[in-house]
A and B are shown apart, each in its own frame.
Chain A
Amino acid sequence: KQEVTQIPAALSVPEGENLVLNCSFTDSAIYNLQWFRQDPGKGLTSLLLIQSSQREQTSGRLNASLDKSSGRSTLYIAASQPGDSATYLCAVIGGSTLGRLYFGRGTQLTVWP
């Protein structure tokens, strides 16, 4: 069974810092990896999708990398802002299931002014 782990569980930083959130997964047979943002009491917003053949994706201040063979992904947030405060979830779609996403528990990020 696919297991997804996110480290750290929580992170509190001052505004302006560059951040790295980590995600690891146990089964490297994945189709893609997706990073989401979740605000309190809300649904999930897709941030970045990395196909298994890709190494990284960028969107604005966000950059996600994927090392499929080692079962790792990182989400890099540049020049963090208070509006980035949220929970960030990593999810993978495995090769043995028809599109089911396996999620980590998330990293709760607080960026203070």
Chain B
Amino acid sequence: DTGVSQDPRHKITKRGQNVTFRCDPISEHNRLYWYRQTLGQGPEFLTYFQNEAQLEKSRLLSDRFSAERPKGSFSTLEIQRTEQGDSAMYLCASSRAGQGAEAFFGQGTRLTVV
């Protein structure tokens, strides 16, 4: 399977715990995005990498959220001191460089904070 891969698929955590999600993009894609989706809504942009550089961050990405892409390949999204409002589907996407390149999404990580 050469698509975008996310791990884990599901995560249940207690409020206050830290969680980390991983995304492996399509190998030749140098752009990687994180989005968050809540029930009944479209995905909302969180952050974007081109290679290892984090080029854009949404105001939705509070100080408790951090994302890395250390070698320009896989990326991690960490949420510290989780809150119930963090419960959502976290989606990763990748694309080639270039204006308007097609984006491909992974299956997402469903986070439930109890």
Contacts and interface: CB of A to CB of B under 8 A. Distances in A.
Interface string A89-113: 1010100011111111110000000
A42 B99 contact: no
B110 A32 contact: no
A108 to B, nearest CB: 9
Interface in B35-93: 35, 40-45, 48, 50, 55-56, 89, 91, 93
For this complex, into which size category does the number of interface residues on chain A fall? 20 to 34
A83 interface: no
B98 to A, nearest CB: 9
Task: Give the interface SS of chain A, mostly helix, strand, loop or mixed.
Answer: strand
A103 B42 contact: yes
Interface in A33-92: 34, 36, 41-46, 49, 51-52, 89, 91
